[in-house]
């Protein structure tokens, strides 16, 4: 999505990625499955060497820092983007090794940026959505369900979403995959599956983009009862693009996405979340869509990256 927008803006982009990628720009394919073995390390270094002599103005990676390790000593401008909590020691080391002014970082939220801002130059650039892929639903049915969409595990709060629906007298649709690890399988079997009745509580499994558009657009509210500090949560931006208010706990990056009482509700505890569910109808769905358009649309996010690229390269 970012590449497509950059190409539209007139930039020449080359993508180094999986051979099945369809980026809309020249692709340098990598092997099918990265194993992070010695062989992989050598191949990455070979590709990095090619990059060093390819004449690029800037190299931008969303992958591992090691992918551009050999470029740290070069004069090529480099950006490492973090979508998850960073390893602070690696950031410190990289910032110390890189030639002055050639390495910067981006974070998907101020919450993530705050973890490394004392050791390096970091810019917050949110994750984006192509709002053209999401149909705005101005109204929903009075009996529209609540929706939970994400991995089915304790940290995501699936069981809390079920409890909320039952206590507030709402239907709930759960979508997403159950991770294969035993702890997550046990969580599903003990705390989620017993409540699935196909009527009040429905589980529909993973959904594709078209199904997600319909699911989110026809929801009374999207639930984010997370039990960990969410770095961003792109599905919240997708829900907003459909006009659906987001209700979540006030932690992690959620306060950067949810404007309390405007496009959803930030809740301090379970009791506040129950009240927020009851008040979901008071949220202006146009405002939800507008938030997605001005803060998280693909074009806006690409412009932010373009500004950073120009700042670093002087072009």
Q: How far apart are CA 257 and CA 240, in angstroms?
A: 9
Who's near 229: CB < 8 A, 6+ residues apart?
85, 111, 251, 252, 253
Q: How far apart are CA 280 and CA 133, in angstroms?
A: 24
Q: Output the pLDDT for position 22.
A: 80
Spell out the CATH class of 2-128+297-313: alpha beta
CA-to-CA dists, residue 69 to 57, 73, 98, 230, angstroms: 17, 8, 9, 28
Q: How far apart are CA 77 and CA 104, in angstroms?
A: 8
Q: What is the pLDDT along the chain (315 residues), one digit of tens a residue?
A: 899 999 999 999 989 888 888 888 888 887 655 555 556 666 666 777 778 778 899 999 998 887 788 888 888 999 999 999 999 999 999 988 888 889 999 999 999 999 999 989 999 999 999 999 999 999 999 999 999 999 999 999 999 999 999 999 999 999 999 999 999 999 999 999 999 999 999 999 999 999 999 999 999 999 999 999 999 999 999 999 999 999 999 999 999 999 999 999 999 999 999 999 999 999 999 999 999 999 999 999 999 999 999 999 998
Which sequence spans correspond to the domains of the chain?
2-128+297-313, 131-295
Domains 2-128+297-313 and 131-295 share a fold: yes
Q: Output the pLDDT for position 155.
A: 98
Q: How far apart are CA 102 and CA 312, in angstroms?
A: 8
Q: Output the pLDDT for position 36.
A: 59
Spell out the CATH class of 131-295: alpha beta
Tell me the H-state helices in 137-242. 158-168, 182-187, 209-217, 234-241
β-pairing, 172-175 vs 264-267, is unpaired
């Amino acid at each position: 999505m970012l590449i497509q927008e950059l190409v539209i803006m007139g930039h020449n982009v080359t993508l180094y990625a999986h051979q099945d990628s369809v980026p809309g720009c020249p692709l340098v394919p990598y092997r099918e499955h990265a194993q992070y073995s010695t062989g992989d390390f050598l191949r990455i270094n070979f590709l990095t060497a090619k990059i060093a002599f390819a004449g690029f103005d800037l190299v931008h990676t969303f992958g591992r820092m090691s992918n551009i390790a050999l470029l740290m000593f070069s004069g090529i401008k480099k950006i490492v983007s973090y979508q998850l909590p960073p390893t602070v020691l690696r950031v410190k080391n990289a910032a110390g090794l890189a030639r002055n002014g050639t390495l910067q970082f981006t974070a998907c939220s101020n919450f993530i940026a705050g973890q490394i801002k004392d050791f390096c130059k970091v810019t917050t650039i949110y994750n984006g959505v192509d709002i053209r892929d999401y149909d705005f639903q101005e109204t929903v049915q009075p009996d529209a369900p609540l929706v939970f969409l994400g991995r089915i595990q304790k940290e995501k709060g699936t069981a809390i979403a079920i409890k909320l629906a039952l206590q507030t007298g709402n239907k709930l649709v759960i979508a997403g995959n159950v991770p294969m690890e035993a702890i997550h399988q046990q969580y599903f079997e003990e705390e989620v599956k017993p409540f699935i009745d196909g009527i009040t509580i429905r589980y529909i499994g993973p959904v594709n983009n078209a199904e997600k558009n319909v699911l989110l657009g026809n929801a009374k509210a999207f639930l984010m009862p997370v039990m960990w500090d969410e770095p961003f949560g792109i599905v919240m931006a997708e829900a907003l693009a459909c006009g659906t208010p987001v209700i979540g706990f006030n932690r992690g990056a959620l306060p950067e996405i949810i404007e309390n009482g405007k496009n959803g509700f930030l809740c301090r505890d379970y009791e506040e979340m129950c009240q927020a569910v009851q008040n979901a109808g008071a949220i202006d769905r146009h405002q939800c869509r507008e938030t997605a358009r001005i803060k998280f649309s693909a074009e806006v996010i690409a412009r932010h990256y373009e500004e950073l690229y120009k700042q670093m390269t002087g072009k």
